[in-house]
Amino acid sequence: MNAPSSQATTTDGDVFVPEKAAAYPSVRRSSSSSCRFVVTGFGPFRGVSDNPTSVLSRRLGEVVGGATAVPAGRPGPRRVFLLESRVMETSASAARADVGGIYGRLESSSRVEDDGDVDDGNITTVVLHLGVDRNATAFKLERCAYNDATFRVPDEGGYMPNNECISLLRRDDDRDDDGKSKPLAHDWGRCIETTLDLDDLCGRLRGEQDEAVMVSADPGRFVCNYTYYLSLNRCRTMNDDLRGTMLHDAGGSRDATPRWHALFVHVPPFDVIPEQRQLDFILRVMEAIEWQVMPIDDKR
């Protein structure tokens, strides 16, 4: 089964390709929002010929973006700002390439302005991954991912690992006495948690419309977990780098609040929760995240 090629759509229907990554800084500056999103979904995989997250990811690009969009049934514009929505092939190799590309473009746009100045770190970036759980009857906010690639069936690239590391850890003392690099350390099974407060998010989302939503600590061990671990690991590294830069530049006095976040949301099939309701829910997830990460002064 062939999955659709990876694409990213903007609100005007264009397709993002790597050559257009330079557009990110100017797109970001055009938004009044302090939070920007990238959303990913998956194509088909074994047993799921029509993946609902393909539809959700593409539709988000139609209703949300640099221009505000009107929420269904409620007055006022949405604040959420979508940089990119992307449908990924359901394979480890595609996940590694796409996640690496997303963060590479985001990091470049965040650090380097057109005039060469360094970004002041006031923009928060959230990479929101969507995946389907065909047995689910509720939305699941995944708290963590594990450094464990154990696929019960081959992915769309034919890869079927068993108890393999998704990422290898290089220690701080990564050179021996002769100055030679030490082997990368295996860190199999390690758990990384999202920097978002999922209990708070779940409470807000459940309280608004008595939505069927829960916090989960088990994203499985297939491509969903594989993607999420790569994304959380990249956020952790970028937050550490940002924290180090702030502490160095300001003598330890700057706020070290994380500016890079990732979240994985598992959705049920459309025959369990209809498409429009799922789309509205994902939009509310984005709004709730924006409120959570918004500076306190902006909430007044």
**Through-space distance between the first and last CA atoms of the chain, rounded to whole angstroms:** 51
Please state the domain extents for the chain.
7-299
Q: Which CATH architecture has domain 7-299?
A: 3-Layer(aba) Sandwich (3.40)
Per DSSP, 48 falls in state B
pLDDT in tens, 2-40: 333 334 433 333 333 323 333 444 443 434 567 899 999
pLDDT in tens, 141-184: 999 999 999 999 999 999 999 999 998 765 555 555 555 555 55
What is the residue-wise DSSP string for 203-214? Answer: HHHHHHH---EE
Rounded to whole angstroms, how far apart are CA atoms 185 and 173?
11
> What pTM value is reported for the model?
0.80
Burial 211-248 (b: 16+ CB within 10 A, else e): bbbbebeebbbbbbbbbbbbbbbbbbebbeebbeebee
DSSP H helix total and E strand total for the chain: 6, 10
Q: 1 vs 183, which has greater pLDDT? A: 183
pLDDT in tens, 82-91: 999 999 999 9
Strands 124-132 and 260-267, bridge-based pairing: parallel
